[in-house]
Amino acid sequence: MTTSQGGPRPRRAAEAGLLVLAWLGAGLALAQIDWVATSSPLPGPWITLGAIVLLSSAMHVVVRWQAPYADQIMLPVATLLTSLGLTMIARLDVAAARSADQQGGVAPSPDVYAQLTWFGIAAILFIATIILMRDHRRLQRYTYTLGLTGLVLLVLPLVPIIGTTVNGATLWIRLGSFSFQPGEIAKILLTASVAGYLVVKRESLSQVHVKVLSVGLPRPRDVGPLIAAWLVSLAILVFERDLGTSLLFFGIFVGLLYIATQRPSWLVMSLGLFLIGSLLAVLSFGHVRSRVAIWLDPWAQADGAGYQVVQSLYGFANGGLLGTGLGHGFPNYVPFASTDFIIAAFAEELGLVGVVAIIVLYGVLVERGLRTAIEATDPYGKLLAAGLAIALGLQSFIIMAGVSRLIPLTGLTTPFMSYGGSSLIANWIIVAILLRVSDRARRPPVSPVNPAEAATAVLRTS
């Protein structure tokens, strides 16, 4: 579908239709929870559903107004993933209230309303990004400023007083009752910075110095950026004790480096550095050895450090192919089910089919991001969109693979779905930037004015 000028036609009506389907799915899921619950701290599912409809409608209106040619699928998919996360958080609130009622205690405050508040903040920042960032190429001017700011945000949790350690990882800053994970914003800034750096340096980084087994290796002086990224990822692992964030940042850099240069040698060297770093981490740091030991045999520590993973695996097993049904499982038996292990909760109540459907949604979101990178007409937009899509896909893979024991467990959150504001805000900003890049890539070119035709029109009107 194209306009008379040859460019693509805005498809905001398709986006609106997909949003309605997302609302319908969220409404049915919330109604199911309300119907199954015998004791619930929630007055009804309609408050949550109403907030979802209101916030996503506002985002749709702003995209229709400010970025009419943007991709029409990313916003509905992100809305559906967020709605599913809110649904499971509400389901866990019901389970917590039921447990408190059985024990004669007081039910804790529902987490779903706190998450709705974060969703509201995320929607505001999404709208602000769409309106204020008229041209994504302006970010390239601040390549080194963004990189420095991102590094400062990464080390901020190490600052005494404000830095906070949660579950062994020092990733949070706390100011009074307010807590935030600055690394989530840092991943956006560092991705934008790396994209700008590679646009300038990709020619020199693509040069082949010598060939070994038909693999062209770069010049030694060009290996410096890869070594620097590797050292930064190791520093995150050593000082902040977070394996997931370390893997995420190194993976984003390597992915962008390969896309910019198209040299497989960078992947070979990156794999070698990853293996060396992994071996050093296992030999040198007890918390890494503990994660690996739990990964290899969680049942050996089923009453201790492996308890969370074991309970998660029991949830997967109990869910089977089709699940126990929404509201009929025991996802609250898994510690931190609303944050790190929300996929395990879905696996129990929706089964393998439900988890595969969620994975497909993430796959669609990443595919649209990569398609935006392909459609972008400027080198910086290509790398920026590709880097942000890689960030979403890699983070989703790392946490879901860890929960299912495919790889050692990390401390990342499931994008859009896990409880917590830092991740939700950062990922919605990523979607806003991708939509901005998509809108510029798809916007039809303005036809140049023919001077002869303009002069003829003036004579006719005079």
Instruction: Taking residues 22-43, report their average pLDDT.
Output: 80
| Six token digits for residue 434 | 């991708």
Please write the tens of the pLDDT for every residue from 83-137: 999 999 989 988 887 777 666 665 567 888 899 999 999 999 999 999 999 899 9
Non-local (6+) Cβ contacts of 288 within 8 A are 237, 243, 281, 282
- 2: pLDDT strictly greater than 60: no
Confidence class for position 40, pLDDT limits 50, 70, 90: low
Please write the tens of the pLDDT for every residue from 219-270: 777 788 889 999 988 888 877 777 888 889 999 999 999 999 888 888 888 9
Give the residue with greater pLDDT, 104 vs 146: 146
Report the C-alpha gap between 131 and 283 in whole angstroms.
49
Lowest mean pLDDT among 54-63, 69-78, 107-116, 191-200: 107-116
Burial 242-281 (b: 16+ CB within 10 A, else e): bbbbbbbbbbbbbbbbbbbbebebbeebbeebbeebbeeb
- 137, with CB counted inside 10 A (0-12, 13-18, 19+), is middle
The closest alpha carbon to 290, from 305, 275, 311, belongs to: 305
Non-local (6+) Cβ contacts of 224 within 8 A are none
- 202: pLDDT strictly greater than 50: yes
**Whether 425 contacts 124, CB under 8 Å:** no
Q: What is the model's pTM? A: 0.91
Q: Rounded to 5 degrees, what are φ and ψ at 122?
A: -60, -40
**Whether 228 contacts 281, CB under 8 Å:** no
Confidence class for position 4, pLDDT limits 50, 70, 90: very low
Lowest mean pLDDT among 43-47, 134-138, 394-398: 43-47
Share of the chain above pLDDT 90, in %: 48
Supply the DSSP symbol for 305. Answer: T
Q: What pLDDT score does 165 carry? A: 72
What residue segments make up the domains of the chain, in order of their start?
136-283
Please write the tens of the pLDDT for every residue from 401-420: 989 888 888 778 899 999 98
Q: What pLDDT score does 212 carry? A: 60
Instruction: Taking residues 260-281, report their average pLDDT.
Output: 88
Q: What pLDDT score does 168 carry? A: 64
| Six token digits for residue 376 | 């972008």
Instruction: Taking residues 153-175, report their average pLDDT.
Output: 77
Q: Cα 405 to the chain's mean position, in Å?
A: 20
Tokens 């989530």 correspond to: 184
- 381: pLDDT strictly greater than 90: yes
Q: Mean of the per-residue pLDDT values for the chain?
A: 86
CA distances, 35 to each of 110, 230, 327, 348 (Å): 17, 51, 9, 19
Could you tell me if residue 104 is left (phi over 0), alpha (psi between -120 and 50 degrees) or otherwise beta? Answer: left
Quote the longest CA-to-CA distance of the chain: 92
Q: Rounded to 5 degrees, what are φ and ψ at 322?
A: -110, -5
Instruction: Taking residues 144-165, report their average pLDDT.
Output: 86
Q: What pLDDT score does 461 carry? A: 42
Q: What pLDDT score does 102 carry? A: 67
Q: What pLDDT score does 458 carry? A: 43
Instruction: Taking residues 322-336, report their average pLDDT.
Output: 87
Please write the tens of the pLDDT for every residue from 423-455: 999 999 999 999 999 999 998 876 555 555 545
